[in-house]
Amino acid sequence: MNPTPDTSTLLTLQQIAAMLRARQRQILAITLAFLLLGMGVTLLLPTVWTASSDLYIDYKENDPISGRGLSAMLDDSYMQTQIDMIRSHVVAEEVIRAQGLDETVQYREQAQKHGVARAKDQLVERLVRNTQVEKARNSRVLSVSYDAPSADEAQRMTNAVVRAYVDVTLRVASSSARSLREQYSAQLDTLRAEADTIQEKLTQYRQQTGLIGDTENTDRDAQLLDQLTNALSVVQTRRLEAQTRFASLQGSVRAGTPVEQLPITSQITPLNDMRSRLNEIDRRLNEIRPTLGSRHPTLLGLEAERRELQQRIQTAARLAYQSTGAEADQLAAQERDLQRQIEQQRSKVLEQLQYRDRIASYQRQQASVEQVYRSALQKYDGLLMASNITAPNLAVLREAALPTSPSRPRLASNLVASLLAGLFIALSFAFLQELRHRKVRCLDDLRRSIPDPLLGQIGTHQGKERV
């Protein structure tokens, strides 16, 4: 006896098993129908053959064409770019051209029916759609495959796609190198012409100015200017001394000092000799004047000689006095002449410096152009080497082989999928029918549907409960 009936809304395993037993024929029918349907669809699908080829793609750490360095962090981006290039329209058009797909009867019929452009686009889209590229993680090996109705076509088209990709890669690299080579060639011509123009200007300027060396003439003129400046300093010093000495003599003369008693006369040897002779005559006159008469010829001769010596001493002293002033005037004239020469030489030196600066400017311009020219020439040589390289930075590790079995449709996989799908739908349909139309199929159904307590159970059927 069951005094407390179960009011839970969840189905028990006994209820689920009872439902499945009641609907087992329906479940088997639906499952078998789906299985047969999957088999029929599989048999009706066209057979697809797939051939694959392996490519090893590498990039250059330092690209000699673009001059840029590629980081290893850009590896995924670079590989994805190559995948996109393999499945690009450019490669597909190269395959069409190489395989002559635009000359087939089928293509011509499509071109007549839909037009050349549309037929070409459809052919390109079909090639791109049938081409598959796979890449393993952290790998530089790409697997290129192609789906075709026959094994021969799959092998042929896979190898054609790989060859077309290699050709396009080479063409792009050579086109880039050729374009850059032409640009650098034009730049080198321009730099060469500019260097020649600067050299011609420099030569003409040197011919006009007469400057052969860069600093030889300027250094010689600068040394001459220094010599003239030093000579001017000496002359100025001598002029000041002469003017000071002459001014002192003039002051003494104005003060009443006889000319022959000026200090400068003591430095003149002839005057000193005449003074010595005059003193000798005065001594003799003093000796003979007491003993001889005033009219004595000896006395008269000595006095006449004495007057002549005095006259000569005065004349010589006056000449010495005048020569002191003349020396100051000569030194002043010499100073003016040196100043004129210094101004002329200074102008010449400044002109030489201006010429030298102009020449240095030409030389700097020429050196700058030559430096740029050498740098461009080095890059140009690298471009020539890069453009002459015929091997791409990729290698075909494995060419496409003739497939031995079709890749699609897969009968076993499709049958398993049909079986699972049919079983799921059959079970779902069976449960839905049972839930919509509830029946008493086991003891748990009575316990959950009747609120009164269960009094007992009579008999079993094949080891199962029977109400």
| Of 125 and 321, the one with more pLDDT | 125
Residue 191: pLDDT over 80: no
DSSP string for 248-302:
HHHHHHHTT--GGGSGGGGG-HHHHHHHHHHHHHHHHHHHHTTTS-TT-HHHHHH
pLDDT of res. 466: 43
pLDDT of residue 125: 92
Query: Is the torsion defined by CA of 243, 247, 249, 253 positive or negative?
Result: positive
Q: Is the pLDDT of residue 72 over 80?
A: no
C-alpha distances in angstroms, 188 versus 50, 74, 193, 275, 379? Answer: 52, 33, 8, 94, 11
Residue 391, pLDDT score = 46
Give tens-digit pLDDT for 352-398.
777 777 777 777 887 887 787 777 777 666 656 555 544 457 788 88
The angle at the Cα of 373, spanning 372 to 376, to the nearest 5 degrees, equals 85
Q: Does residue 236 have a pLDDT over 80?
A: yes
Contact present, 338 and 230 (Cβ < 8 Å): no
Identify the H or E element spanning 427: helix 411-436
Q: Is 144 helix (H, G, I), strand (E, B) or coil?
A: strand
